[in-house]
Amino acid sequence: MTSSSRLHSVLDLACERSAVRYAKGHADAVLRDWGLPEDLAYDALTVVAELASNAVRHAGAEAKPFAPDCGQPHVPRCELTLWIAADRLCIAMYDESPRPPLLRPPSAESENGRGLQLVNGLSDGAWGYQPAAHRPGKTVWAQLPLTAGVPPEPALTTTGNHAVTA
């Protein structure tokens, strides 16, 4: 995804459990600073939490104790990007896993797998992913419609894939 926007924020994170909390806290502060309505911010924070949780679940690593004779361990990274383009709030989460997101039908028996259903519903289906261009992994993105009162920006151009459905 590419954007041209005055309102743009990027947060680089270690892809571990605490990333979800930090991503939500950062997004909350940014969205307040941008003056977005509370209902939109609430939906956006839900999307941020789901995308960050998926990044950690599928690309993160459990913390390993430091072993001096093994050198520095690789710490998986993830990155939250927020921006406003045209009449949309854009949310993107990069992680190092090449596996595409999988939108599964809801199941009463499953203990997980509902997060992308939430993202799909809150974004009115305006979400997807694309492989990262110059590094391993992918970016999963969602767009939420803005309410009246937010100045329009140049339109967002999307390239890449929409999420895989099962």
The 3-class SS string of the chain reads: CECCCCCEEEEEEECCCHHHHHHHHHHHHHHHHCCCCHHHHHHHHHHHHHHHHHHHHHHCCCCCCCCHHHCCCCCCEEEEEEEEECCEEEEEEEECCCCCCEECCCCCCCCCCCHHHHHHHHCCCCEEEEECCCCCCEEEEEEEECCCCCCCCCCCECCCECCEEC
CB 50 within 8 A of CB 118: yes
**Mean pLDDT (whole number) for 65-94:** 85
* Confidence grade of residue 115 (pLDDT, cut at 50, 70, 90): confident
Model confidence pTM above 0.95:
no
Strand partners, 161: 129
Query: Which of residues 153 and 43 earns the better pLDDT score?
Result: 43
Please report which confidence band the pLDDT of residue 62 belongs to, taking 50, 70 and 90 as the band edges: low
**CA-to-CA distance for 120 and 105, rounded, in angstroms?**
12
Q: Report the distance separating Cα 99 and Cα 61, nearest Å.
A: 15
Average pLDDT taken over every residue of the chain = 82
Q: Which residue has the higher pLDDT, 122 or 66?
A: 122
Report d(CA 139, CA 145) in Å as an integer: 20
pLDDT recorded at residue 157: 41
Instruction: Choose among 19, 57, 47: nearest CA to 125.
Output: 47
Mean pLDDT, rounded, for 90-114: 85
